[in-house]
Structure 1
């Protein structure tokens, strides 16, 4: 491929170590890529609030594609510059399909800034407790449905994905990113790849000028979009089956290894 103008990288399980940090080697590799003229774009399932706190001062400028493509977030200004929420009526139909296929499933909604959680949705992220709001129904609010979250303690995410994808069909995008028993559902057509493509077109950049990194099924679309999409050594089998390129694991600085080769002396 040509020298990349965009480095699109997932965070958890990819750029970040298991401890949830950016290693010194990876931080230096990002700076080297930027110095060579590449733009770093974080492409993540995380909401905006979960991005800035895990990238250091040197790494935390620029654009993040959050919530699996549903949000574009400017890290420098702390602004959401674009959003692609689900239509409430469609989300309600998806919820009906979830109830049929996964009785007892717990629902929550990521709004972009907060989480609306029903009683059956018992997952809580310690660092996000201040952002959770308990609701009788996620559909009682007029806040945007950036991402519908479905949790089951009785099934794995892989099991849920198989049955829910079939039940939902083309109503919405169904995926998962590593949390056991949790599905993430976005508006139809909304993926990391779709939003990255819009960003690239705005800059006059083609897919062949993009290098991407990921480890989970929600990364597959963006890895296939990029001129070179790298699956981490710790990637989900669905990712390795879909991609040609490989790198080392997140704890072995797999992203840095590739960036050093591409942008190093």
Structure 2
């Protein structure tokens, strides 16, 4: 990162990173974000959440502008509540991925994030409390013509690490496979769709180099962003893979780790 100016983009994950364990933006974190904005930085949420899952967080944080959602598959304008770009999985590719999942992990449950709703087959039993109104029960996630922004795979009998190890080789280059902290859930996007690549495109549009980005995250789906940024910070509560690979560390999400880094950067001469 440039040593002479404050970073131009602050790219932060939400759950387990910017948000505390209660799912809130602390007063200290909000103040640090506002100070970063005053110093000229753009705050970009880079999250696995769908757009509907960030509106209240953006209000708490006092953040407007662009958010990268659904692990990079959606670019969202917070102020206008509009999806400005999306990169869905082609239905034929998604079906091939589903077949590979079923072979690797029999009994797996499938869901689909459409960008506005979640389609849930009977075996996909996960429900997110803040998002209950968005679930649509379906016989098959492939019925109809709704976009497949993310294919979601649930296996209550396995950890996400175990699932990833079992299915990633089988899926190969058909799709991007990752996970974001929920046990027994894999999140699958179109080939080449990641948080980092979408952030890179956003930076290019703004004429910002990776060296002028500071990033924060805690889970495997954040790692590419942390490695992309001029300074990538793993939270103290991060997944072991992230802690071992990220170039920097900060305090946990419950200790305002994002705010601590921003305050230090703001105080630097």
TM over 0.5, shorter chain? yes
Indicate whether 1:92 and 2:87 are aligned.
no
Candidates 164, 169, 173, aligned match of 1:166: 169
2:262 pairs with 1:259: yes
Contact 1:32–1:264 (CA<8 Å) still a contact in 2? no
Q: Which residue of structure 2 lines up, in the alignment, with residue 27 of structure 1?
A: 30
**Secondary structure at 1:25 match in 2:** helix
Distance 1:139 1:67 in 2: 19
Per the alignment, residue 72 of structure 1 pairs with 75
- 8 Å contact from structure 2 (residues 25, 60) kept in 1: no
Cα distance between partner residues in 2 of 1:146 and 1:57: 26
Q: How far 1:130 moved relative to its partner?
A: 1.2
Q: In the alignment, which of 117, 122, 141 is matched to residue 119 of structure 1? A: 122
> Unmatched 5+ residue regions in structure 2?
none
Residue number in structure 2 paired with 1:61: 64
Which residue of structure 2 lines up, in the alignment, with residue 229 of structure 1? 232
Q: Deviations over 1:80-136 (max 9, x none)?
A: 000010000000000000000000000000000000110110111122121111111
CA RMSD of aligned residues (A): 0.9
Q: Verify the 8 A CA contact 2:75 2:85 in the aligned structure 1.
A: yes
Q: What stretches of structure 1 of length at least 5 have no aligned partner?
A: none
Q: Secondary structure at the match of 1:178?
A: coil
Pick from 225, 229, 250 the counterpart of residue 253 of structure 2: 250
Is the aligned partner of 1:202 residue 2:205? yes
Query: Distance between the aligned counterparts of 1:90 and 1:111, measured in 2?
Result: 16
Q: Secondary structure at the match of 1:53?
A: helix
In the alignment, the residues of structure 1 paired with residue 121 and residue 254 of structure 2 have an alpha-carbon distance, to the nearest angstrom, of: 35
Q: Which residue matches 1:52?
A: 55
- TM-score calculated relative to the size of structure 2: 0.97
Of 4, 10, 13, the match for 1:7: 10
Query: Number of matched residues?
Result: 265
- Alpha-carbon distance, 1:263 to partner: 1.7
For 1:241 and 1:170, how far apart are their aligned partners in 2? 25
Q: Distance in 1 between matches of 2:78 and 2:63?
A: 6
